[in-house]
Structure 1
Amino acid sequence: MEIFNREWHRLMREQDALSFVIVNPHIKTLDENSKVGFQIVAKVLEKSVLRATDLLSRFHDNEFAVGLFNLNENGTNTIIQRIYDNLDSISDELYKLNIHVSIGALNVLPNNDIDLMNIIRSAKELAEAAYKENKQGYKLEYYQCH
């Protein structure tokens, strides 16, 4: 979170957008098969997030967080589509492990009126809503401060 926080403030100064993405493979990392599945998804994410400035990390026990900096909604959509394309290339393996990846993403123009915790919470809610609609889907929204 320290790096994300630093980038948040840098983008506030530059008045540029970022996207905060939650990737939820819906795996409980309790047994060996689940841990293997989690590692497979991690490798797909590493392969999909290409820019050196982007941030990928494990988030809580069973999710990943991705910070995409200096990026608008179209760029975020492109990266999410790349993630799903890479997941499709190993779909048989994911099916055998019963892994369904949902993604929630918020594109935002940082400012002092926005609470980072609200961004995180909203991205998690979008990932859950995507899962309920289609176990392997995503939702991307532009976050506006009211």
Structure 2
Amino acid sequence: MIYSFRNSSFRDPETGVYNQIYFMEVFNREWHRHLRDKQSLALLYLCPHIHETVKQPHLLELFTNQVQEALLRATDLIARLDTNHFALGLFNVDEQGTQVVLARIEAQINEFKEKYGKDHNFSIDYKLAGGICIPSDDKNIEGLFVQVESLSSQLELDHDQHQALINIH
């Protein structure tokens, strides 16, 4: 990616996806809109483990570009939270719609493995944890992030399962 000062305030320079600050601003705004409109939203944490990004740093950008293709709606967001975690925000989506997005993300990751696995010698594993809820006065946005982060940590310990979704009531 060519670094641009025009995008520097809200883009991650390594991957080109939104940065954590921008994601949090948009997610907070959407939380309050969904609270008012009584609509559900989903928060996903994606933790890719690509074992050759030190030698081939562009693989992470290619990976995030591939995942972005699974997000078909312009309102859906992906952002880099830190070195190993990405957050995805899905708005005005129910559990069935979230499951469809999870399946599309999995398909895109498999396509990434096929497309770039031949040319680059790397292995990839990933964990995808998500929480879906309808914001209400008795729920807070921080609680959603804590629960999804906790689910993500549990997934990291489970070598057989790579994705999980919880419905937060």
Shorter-chain TM-score range:
0.7 to 0.9
> 2:61 matched to which residue of 1?
39
Helix, strand or coil at the partner of 1:48? coil
Q: 1:17 to 1:39 in 2, by over 3 A?
A: same
| More displaced stretch, 117-126 vs 103-112 | 117-126
Q: Which consecutive unaligned segments of at least 5 residues does structure 1 have? A: none
Q: Which consecutive unaligned segments of at least 5 residues does structure 2 have? A: 1-23
Choose which of 36, 57, 65 in structure 1 pairs with 2:87.
Answer: 65
Helix, strand or coil at the partner of 2:152? helix
Cα distance in 2, alignment partners of residues 29 and 115 from structure 1: 38
C-alpha RMSD of the superposition = 2.3
* Bigger proportion of residues as helix: 1
| More displaced stretch, 53-62 vs 129-138 | 129-138
> How many pairs align?
143
TM-score by length of 2: 0.75
Identity within the alignment, %: 27
> 2:25 matched to which residue of 1?
2
Moved over 6 A (4+): none
TM-score by length of 1: 0.85
Cα distance in 1, alignment partners of residues 121 and 144 from structure 2: 33
Residues 95-116 of structure 1: CA deviation (Å, up to 9, x unaligned): 9422211100000011232232
> 2:34 matched to which residue of 1?
11
> 1:21 matched to which residue of 2?
44
